[in-house]
A and B are shown apart, each in its own frame.
Chain A
Amino acid sequence: MKKTVEVSIAIAEAVKNCEPDVVACYPITPSTHIAETLAKFYADGELKSFIATESEFASISAICGASAAGGRAFSATSSQGLALMHEVVYAAAGMRLPIVMVVGNRALSAPLNIWCDQQDSVAERDSGWIQLYCESAQEGVDTAIQAFKIAESTMLPVMVCVDGFYLTHTVEQVEVPTLEEVRKFLPKFQPKVKLDPENPISMGEYATPEYYQGFREDVHRDHLAAKSRIVEVDKEFEQMFGRSHGGLAQGYRIEDADYVFAGMGSVIGNAKEVVDELRAKGKKVGVLKIRSLRPFPGEEVRKLLEGKKHVAIFEKSYSLGSFAPVYAEVINSLYPLRKRPVVSSFIGGLGGKDVPTKTVHEIFKMIKKREPLEIWI
């Protein structure tokens, strides 16, 4: 049943219905409402645990401990909170702990800013976590549930990235799968290895140069293998709930398009709207949604963009001193093609700066030419 609710509350409800053993959170805008809603479920006896930690460093550490001890574990954070978790983010992936975390995407200090961009999670892209960026409120809810299934079958942690405020704080009509429904979709978490006195194993040992690189390579290979799993889980979800969210990457009105807008997260919704308007005027334009930044769907992106004239990428983060991150990924994916589309990078919306649809129309005019652009809008 659909209900009209703030997206953070819907996400928290979805997480509750996944029956986590341990939830550990620390308040930080714009993810706080997820934590607060889970705390309320706990106070009402509907959640097994809610640990209000003394820092995000403790939150993620607590859910690592919970996962290592064989439980399903969850946290939510944003921005400075994620940055403070950084050391543990890497350790969680290296230890193959299938934890799930929702990131309400927000800019990083300094200067302090509480509004949306994606620098916080993009900065963690090399950590070994799967990262899925959500386009809509409904996708945020559904991806939170899918994430447990992906994580627990790949033994890789999953970050569900939802744009701060644009998604976390909007009130929308969403469908939250019920406890019974989720039980049918998501099997009980039964890890093959855990801290168990009956079968003692060691976790997080130190590895000498002889072994270390092998561990890193394993995580990478399993990321590549996780690509098909992400697509599969999205399909299984569709079979049960009638909704899918594009697997790794997805085109919209892209088949015959000459011009393509590309990006991650809620900007995709806006891009689709503009594309519909332009299509109504006979323009050949489409959208590429990149849902999975890690693992990155290079081949899929290449297939979707082959033969296009110009691709305009909306960036909500930047690798200062180099290029915008999504641009760099896309360029890299297109490199094997003989005839490559022109790719331009539009950096906008950092720290919540407004990018109205008017600007997207202007961008469409700019990419009519065949020269690559980098513009901070």
Chain B
Amino acid sequence: MEEYFASGHTACAGCGMPITVRHALNVLGKDVIVVNATSCLEIVSSAYPRSAWGVPYIHSLFENSGAIATGAVASLRAQGNEHTKVVVFAGDGSTYDIGFGVLSGMLERNDDVLYICYDNEAYMNTGNQRSGSTPFGAATTTSPAGKVKHGKMQWKKPIAEIIAAHQIPYVATASIGYMADFESKVRKAKDMKGARFILVLAPCVTGWNYDSAKTIEIAKLAVDTGLWMLYEIEDGKFKVSYKPQQFKPVADYLKMQARFKHLSEEQIKTIQEHMNKAWAEVKQ
């Protein structure tokens, strides 16, 4: 099979992001234009005069990929091209925070774009600062564990739900720990029209600080502990994609990563209860 994301990129060993991109492109094929926001992905894949991309690629800025994509697809369609897909790859920083306004505009207009956010739960390219996606309790360099504050003290922004509130045709969450599920979601989104959004959990070895051999294991455990819920919202209908028969304790997941190492048993309990409550509220 032809690969569209070459192995010569410079991501850290064990990084979840290239795995996300490579598998998504394998499903999407060659007839795509990739729009990328400034991020680790951009830096590791596009240092001039090299490029890891085997499909057309544009990086503009950190906060505007939603609108670059809007313009690109409008241009293609205006030129009579009805087939080429425009796909955004963006990090959580750009999706949840700095590019959120622009993304919301793209969604509200229901522009014909597939937007894939690889979520590593912080600004990794600049050295692990908190984002709207950083989970409760995680220590980052701008939410450090200090004498009076103990990591990020707010919950993660429920971005997929906020995006679904725009009433676009397709919203899904995925994890690279459940690759077949992710690929099938990309496959489904590929041939739909309008704005589609997939949020993929893609662990960061450096920022989460774990053994680089454990990326897939951690991405799986996020789902198995119930902390990362896999679901789809298709034409407004919510459906859980996979529910573990029995949840593993959230502590199993938290204790594998140094970003949580300062947490007290009390805080771990708070996270466990938050997770229990989230699942209790799910209408299945």
Contacts and interface: CB of A to CB of B under 8 A. Distances in A.
A39 B61 contact: no
Interface string A59-100: 000000000000000000000100010000000000000000
A109 interface: yes
B158 interface: no
Nearest to A53: B97
Interface in A27-43: 27-29, 32, 35-36, 39-40, 42-43
A40 B148 CA distance: 10
A15 B38 CA distance: 29
A150 B147 CA distance: 34
11 contacts: A28-B126, A36-B127, A36-B129, A36-B144, A42-B146, A42-B149, A43-B143, A45-B148, A54-B132, A80-B62, A112-B38
6 cross-chain pairs, A with B, having the tightest CB-CB distances, nearest first: A43-B146, A54-B97, A45-B148, A43-B149, A55-B98, A27-B129
Interface residues of B, number: 28
B111 interface: no
A179 interface: no
Interface in B139-165: 141-149
Q: Which of A26, A32, A44, A52 has the most CB of B within 10 A?
A: A52
Contacts of B149: 42-43
Contact of B141 (A39, A55, A80, A109): A39
Q: Which of B61, B127, B142, B143 has the most CB of A within 10 A?
A: B142
A32 B129 contact: yes
Given A55-B63, A110-B60, A112-B38, A39 B126 contact: no
Given A27-B126, A27-B127, A112-B38, A55 B147 contact: no
A35 B144 CA distance: 12
A111 interface: yes
A45 B60 contact: no
Contact of A32 (B48, B63, B126, B131): B126
Nearest to A54: B97
B123 to A, nearest CB: 5
A23 B200 CA distance: 33
B42 interface: yes
Contacts of A84: 63
